Homo-oligomer: A and B are copies of this chain.
Amino acid sequence: MLIRHTGDYTWEDVPVLAYKEENLTCFKSVTRQVLINAVPQLPCQLRYFEVAPGGYSTLEKHEHVHFVVIFHGEGRALIDGKVHTVKEKDVIFIPSLTWHQFRAGEDSPLGFLCLVAEDRDRPVLPTSEDLTVLRENSSIADFIRS
């Protein structure tokens, strides 16, 4: 089964979806494409997310982990208590229960492949207490959007 790239980070017969099905969380300018759905032998889903310039994903944590490959452009990411510059072909493992957020550059999109288990818990959003703790680190305080 070949899912052809049709140019500009879209694929044949793969719809470009809203980032989240529920619009209750805080994010900006993110799209989602499901490239490969889970099968019994590999109960994982491969998705491609693209954050437009100036946009950001939700600041969240969860039990499930992510395997991420930066696929397009560059930006920054909060991973494991630090803000990192990330660029094409960097690979990221996001451990359980760690706050994470992706932000595209001001002039660059940030597109990434993201693998998750099909059976996974729902993300948790930060409480005001969580945000207070996160903001004790000034580089994180400057970075996060919530």
Which of chain A's residues 66-110 have a Cβ closer than 8 Å to chain B? 67, 69, 71, 77, 79-80, 84, 86-96
Contact with B along A110-124 (1 / 0, CB 8 A): 000101110000000
Distance in Å: Cβ of A31 to nearest Cβ of chain B: 16
What is the chain B residue whose CB lies nearest that of A44?
Answer: B44
Does A5 touch B at the CB level, under 8 Å?
yes
Whether B91 lies near A65 (C-beta < 8 A) is no
CA distance A1 to B93 in the complex (A): 5
Does A24 touch B at the CB level, under 8 Å?
no
Copies held by the complex: 2
A11-B91, A67-B36 in contact; A42/B3 too (CB < 8 A)?
Answer: no
What is the chain B residue whose CB lies nearest that of A79?
Answer: B2
Does A41 touch B at the CB level, under 8 Å?
yes
Whether A88 lies near B41 (C-beta < 8 A) is no
What is the chain B residue whose CB lies nearest that of A80?
Answer: B1
Q: Which of B64, B84, B89, B116 is in CB contact (< 8 Å) with A9?
A: B89
Q: List 15 A-B contacts (CB under 8 A).
A: A1-B93, A2-B86, A2-B90, A3-B91, A3-B93, A5-B88, A5-B89, A5-B90, A5-B91, A41-B63, A42-B67, A42-B117, A44-B115, A46-B67, A46-B69
- Which A-B residue pairs are the 10 nearest by beta carbons? A5-B89, A3-B91, A1-B93, A41-B65, A35-B91, A42-B65, A36-B67, A5-B90, A36-B93, A2-B84
